[in-house]
Amino acid sequence: MGMIGGGIDSFIGDVHRKASSIDGMIELVCGAFSSSEEKSKRSGKALFLPDHRCYGTFEEMILKEKELPEGERMDFIAIVTPNYMHFAPAKLALENGFHVVCDKPMTLTVKEGEILEDIVNNTELLFALTHNYPGHPMVKQARAMVANNELGKIRKVQVQYLQGWLATSIEKTGQKQAAWRVDPTKSGVGGALGDIGTHAENLVEYITGSKLKEIAADLGRFGEGRVLDDDGNILLRLENGAKGTMSFSQIATGEENNLAIKVYGEKGSLEWCQENPNQLITRWLDKPKMIYTPNGNNLHQEALVASRIPAGHPEGYLEAFANVYKNFAIHLNAKLINNDIEIPDYPTVSDGIRGVKFIHAAVESDKNNSAWTRIN
């Protein structure tokens, strides 16, 4: 793996490095860790990389790595930069034959997303998007139960993603993570919408197996001087006929990382919350409430293979993130040795373009007094 972004003091870069290393399948071999050449090389040195594999720019890294012998050069890049720096390195890497793992949202615009999707489809290179929450074993259990019709036809979905870290204008204090997220030149047209709303969108589509068809969005901007949304409520219509609601916020005072979903079918319902990720609660018309746990009883195979440790031991954020990298690595390894395998479960470029279209549809709906807007 070569990394773009994620230098010293980076939160998400450190998460990617830890998650990718959990299963012992991926090794960090090079990086362009910062837009500052000095900081990039200092970051690489802190990670014990050789000087000649610590690059000043992502362009230099991609082109010089391409010149190295096969087996020595990197196999793929991980892009862990702010949103506006996703498209250019992803496009250059794909054009030079490298596979890509990228943070979400995939691109700032739908056009950019379609360009990446076309390159991936034409080259058959792999592209993984790091929506990490579907990596949780209990989310995979929820998806399998819906797919097997255990809940019956899905009628209603409620999803929320509530944070409170932007309840005050900390971007004005120089807080780096806040500053770029409220800047439309770096974040894109969506603020909290792109940062956490896309996780809620992806979770709905992943568990239900149905795409969002159209939405009606009411976005809020509560922070003083903010031009991007920091709060939002969205009505949902799914392609399978189900209806739902989404609420997301980064100004919900006191909330930490309250991502939660409820899915209601004709025969039963399920509930999962990221802050208590090792429980999947199910409720039924004709039997008592049941709670599933990782590596516990009566799990579908999809949940079992995502569980690493014995029942009763907590699995969390890093392990779920690692499942994205593990499944990508399984697929990439098979591709490198020309093995045909059943494609493992990880978010792809198709999920990426869905997220970008969701952001733009929500912004358009909000501008039109929350009019129903199709996600095309």
Cβ partners under 8 Å of residue 293, min gap 6? 138, 278, 279, 280, 311, 312
Total count of residues recorded for the chain: 376
pTM: 0.96
For tokens 């999947």, name the residue.
Answer: 280
Instruction: Return per-residue pLDDT of the chain as tens, 376 residues.
Output: 999 999 988 999 999 999 999 999 999 999 999 999 999 999 999 999 999 999 999 999 999 999 999 989 999 999 999 999 999 999 999 999 999 999 999 999 999 999 999 999 999 999 999 999 999 999 999 999 999 999 999 999 999 999 999 999 999 999 999 999 999 999 999 999 999 999 999 999 999 999 999 999 999 999 999 999 999 999 999 999 999 999 999 999 999 999 999 999 999 999 999 999 999 999 999 999 999 999 999 999 999 999 999 999 999 999 999 999 999 999 999 999 999 999 999 999 999 999 999 999 999 999 999 999 999 8
- Angle subtended at Cα 87 by Cα 205 and Cα 192, rounded to the nearest 5 degrees: 50
Instruction: For the chain, list the domains and their CATH numbers.
Output: 2-130 (3.40.50.720), 134-311+353-374 (3.30.360.10)
User: Residue 197, CB half-sphere, CA atoms under 13 Å: how many?
Assistant: 36
- The DSSP bridge pattern shows strands 2-4 and 258-265 to be unpaired
